Amino acid sequence: MILRTIPESKWDKCSTTDMLRYMVTFPKYLPTCCFLHLFESFRLNGLLILGNMVYDCGSCVAKYVLCAFNFVIFVVATIVLGVGVWLLVDKSSFVEIAKIVPLDEIQVFTSVDVIQQASYILVAVGAFMFIISFLGYCGAMRESRWMLTLYGILLILILALEIAAGVLAITYKSKAEEETKNILKQYISHYNSSNMQEPLTAAWNALQVSLKCCGVDNYEDFKVAKSDPTWISNGYVIPATCCKLDDNKTPIDMNCMKNPTEDNSYYQTGCYDELIKWIITNLNIVIITAAVLALVELLGILFAFCLTKKINIYEK
């Protein structure tokens, strides 16, 4: 039945227009229809005619895999970019929505300054993803050499930076640990007890609540932090987020900030060590994610230059 619905004259070609028409006309039989269509095209002449040029099997797969993958990235990039712009122009609505979500880590990041910085990051990341996916999708669909070449070069640069970062982290592990601690201690010096909504302060509070820790190495790191008169006059030693908290996220011992102990706080537990433990615990996920990302980027590079080479051959 499926064979009768497709004109015999069409079996020797597999144009994009034909495939789209069959997709709309025969959605019920789409998987079988497409398979038979492609199979017969290979049987007759071993080649496919898609778009503007003749493809072999590898080039055909490369083109449509690039299109499909970059279309997904394009949609994600559009969402990220849209959220970033939304936060940039309408912070109040995000704050109202965040109050509904019962996650304390989100509640910490509802200050105007934090939202402002987050919006800049989202816009930058979304715009970069948008450009990359646009080049990949349009380059493959329009068979544009310069788009595909630029897409491939950008992926090579991204992959090279990721590999370089990994190699440096392994080679200079001890140095990296020392520098990371120094950077964290520099950040903690800007911890402002008089403004808990300040971005760095909010970030430290969220980290300490999530990992149940205090400071970089321990509570003594807060000796260099900014303190308001109330903090000093009350004799506070640690912020409330270093204390053990109840379900309402208030210290179980209100004396904790003045006289921290192992029973009422995490004052001797450094966030750096806890962060390393968290990474080690989730190392398999980190490795798999990194490997999949690298593989996808590598395939993107190979497919892009495969199509570019095929276009060059066709145009000659």
pLDDT digits (tens, 9 = 90+) for 29-88: 434 444 444 444 444 444 444 444 445 566 777 888 888 899 999 999 999 999 888 888
CB 257 within 8 A of CB 243: yes
**Alpha-carbon gap, residue 207 to 215, rounded angstroms:** 10
**Phi then psi dihedrals of residue 50, to 5 deg:** -125, 125
The answer, yes or no, to whether residue 107 has pLDDT greater than 90, is no
Residue range 11-30: average pLDDT? 42
pTM: 0.62
The 10s digit of each residue's pLDDT in 160-183 is: 998 898 888 778 777 777 888 888
Residue range 273-279: average pLDDT? 87
Which residues, listed in sequence order, are joined to residue 265 by a DSSP beta bridge? Answer: 243
The answer, yes or no, to whether residue 313 has pLDDT greater than 50, is yes
pLDDT score of 282: 83
User: Percentage of the chain surpassing pLDDT 70?
Assistant: 71
CB 189 within 8 A of CB 224: yes
In which residue are the tokens 């966030």 written?
A: 271
The answer, yes or no, to whether residue 110 has pLDDT greater than 70, is no
pLDDT score of 228: 64
Other Cβ atoms within 10 Å of 157 Cβ, number: 10
Around 35, how many Cα atoms within 13 Å sit in the side-chain half-sphere?
5
**Alpha-carbon gap, residue 137 to 174, rounded angstroms:** 42
Comparing CA positions, the residue from 221, 223, 260 lying closest to residue 243 is: 260
pLDDT score of 151: 94
Q: What is the mean pLDDT of the chain?
A: 75
**What domains appear along the chain, each with residue ranges and CATH number?**
2-50 (no CATH), 57-171+281-315 (no CATH), 176-276 (1.10.1450.10)
Name the packing angle between helices 145-171 and 173-188 (round to 10°). Answer: 90
pLDDT score of 183: 84
Chain centroid to CA 299: how far? 18
The 10s digit of each residue's pLDDT in 204-247 is: 888 888 899 998 998 888 887 766 666 777 788 888 889 998 87
pLDDT score of 94: 67
The answer, yes or no, to whether residue 202 has pLDDT greater than 60, is yes
pLDDT score of 75: 93
Residue range 7-16: average pLDDT? 40
**Phi then psi dihedrals of residue 69, to 5 deg:** -65, -45
Looking at per-residue confidence, does 57 or 22 come out higher?
A: 57
Tell the burial category of 201 from Cβ atoms under 10 Å away from its Cβ (0-12, 13-18, 19+): buried
Residues 6+ apart with CB under 8 A from 291: none
Among the listed ranges 49-53, 65-69, 198-202, 267-271, which one has the minimum average pLDDT value?
49-53
Other Cβ atoms within 10 Å of 107 Cβ, number: 16
Residue range 126-143: average pLDDT? 90
CB 41 within 8 A of CB 56: no
